[in-house]
Amino acid sequence: MRARRLLCMNLLQRYLSLIRHAAWPGARGIARPTPRHYLATFGVLLVLPFFLVYHAIGFALDELLFRGYRRVKVESPVFVLGPPRSATTAVHSVLAEDRQFTTFLTWECFFGLSVSWRKLWRTVGRADARVGRPLGRLVDAVTRRLAGGLEAVHPVRLDAPEEDYFAFAPLLWCFLLVVPFPDTPWLWRWGRFDEALEPEEKSRLMASYRRAIQRHLYAHPGKRYLAKNAVFAPLAQALLQAFPDARVVCCLREPREALSSQLSCLDPSLRGFHGDYDQRRFANRMAGLYGFYYRNLFAALGRPGSHRAVFLPVPALGRLPAAVGEIYRALGLEADTAFRERVVFRAQAFRDWRSDHRHRPAELAVDAHVLRSAFDDLSGRFDFTGDRVVVCNAPRDQLARVAGL
């Protein structure tokens, strides 16, 4: 009971903090106090309580009706990590076609974090399918409308694999909130999770994440858990402490290209919420975080332990079947014939695919000294142009180049 009261108090404090920083961004804030800013951010603030209550009811029902989820073991989960815009979505979508895995779908992230709501919406979905999917078509149309220009950089489909960092959203610990609330200091702490949070706070958040995975496995028995989270780069060390037997595929892209792509992706959303904003201030903060992302991944995955991990440079996707074979051998996974055939098919799609997203790394709105501090030592630690998978439990002389061990 005491823990529940503490959770409610923390939620209330974070919610009030969002209100305060949305109302008064400050003279040196990223957002500008414009009518667009106030209408958009306070629209989100009006919706958030309903979102929090909805999931709280689902979790409470789970404790009454499906408490067996707590006994589910999470064994050797597979995590696809990497700085944002480093092909993590592409790799996740390929691995998710292996039938040994189960991964969160978009609709489960938003509406089915609890076992109770998941079962309810599955029942509704089956009934809807029997009458021609009128509800399904309506939801698809609304989703496409809300996604807008995001389709060019991160396709949104309710039945597609998605990042499970939304499991933290009912705790208001979700880095996505930086877009509507860029001047809320504690949200930026997520970007330096492993060094910025106290051990007790990290332990509490990781315990909550484990329960989210247990609920998912309870609803999908007999499967191995697969997750993709680019925003988990800053918590790689906490993740391996919570799941020491994890298998990790870490996608790596040249840092300036990845940062440029991320800033370009976020710009329409930031302008949609705030209109004009301090682009340079935001870009400088993101550059600092990106430098930490790479160093934290190298430190966590290069460290000896019971986990298995590989670094996957983005150019390696050009030889997809061979790269997937190398990943599976390094992580001790087995691939059946059907999955191997799907990978060969996907390889052709990868070669034919061309992104509509355009950005110019040379035009980054980042101060030169910030960029140097963030990235200058990284090119000597990893070959981002390589097309070979690097095994993190390789001989130490190879790890020394990669992880600075």
In which residue are the tokens 């960092």 written?
A: 165
Question: Using one digit for the tens of pLDDT, what is the confidence trace for 109-131?
Answer: 989 999 999 999 999 988 888 88
Q: Which two tokens stand for residue 385?
A: 């142009």
Query: Total domain count for the chain?
Result: 1
Residue pair 291/375 in contact by the 8 Å Cβ criterion: yes
Residue 376 DSSP SS3: coil
CA 69 to chain centre: 23
Range with lowest mean pLDDT among 59-68, 282-291, 388-397: 388-397
In which residue are the tokens 């489960």 written?
A: 108
Determine the pLDDT at residue 277.
95
Residue pair 338/99 in contact by the 8 Å Cβ criterion: yes
The vertex-150 CA angle with 146 and 152, nearest 5°, equals: 135
Residue pair 391/330 in contact by the 8 Å Cβ criterion: yes
Average pLDDT on 48-68 reads: 96
Question: Using one digit for the tens of pLDDT, what is the confidence trace for 382-395?
Answer: 999 999 999 986 54
Question: Using one digit for the tens of pLDDT, what is the confidence trace for 286-299?
Answer: 999 999 999 999 99
CATH number at residue 366: 3.40.50.300
Indicate whether 400 pLDDT > 50.
no
**Phi-psi category of 377—alpha, beta or left, where left has phi over 0 and alpha has psi -120 to 50?**
alpha
* Cβ-based burial of 47 (10 A; exposed 0-12, middle 13-18, buried ≥19): exposed
* Cβ-based burial of 162 (10 A; exposed 0-12, middle 13-18, buried ≥19): buried
> Which range of residues forms the domain containing residue 87?
2-403
Q: Give Cα separations from 169 to 48, 95, 109, 175, 274 (angstroms).
A: 10, 25, 9, 9, 22
Distance of alpha carbon 117 from alpha carbon 110, whole angstroms: 10
Closest CA to 165 of 214, 111, 227: 227
Average pLDDT on 149-177 reads: 78
Determine the pLDDT at residue 398.
47
Q: Which two tokens stand for residue 378?
A: 């990284």
For 220-336, where are the alpha helices, taking DSSP H only? 236-242, 255-274, 279-301, 320-331
The three state secondary structure string of 180-229 is CCCCCHHHHHHHHHHHHCCHHHHHHHHHHHHHHHHHHHHHCCCCEEEEEC
Q: Which two tokens stand for residue 303?
A: 């460290």
Determine the pLDDT at residue 359.
59
Q: What percent of the chain lies above the pLDDT cut of 90?
A: 70
Q: What percent of the chain lies above the pLDDT cut of 70?
A: 87
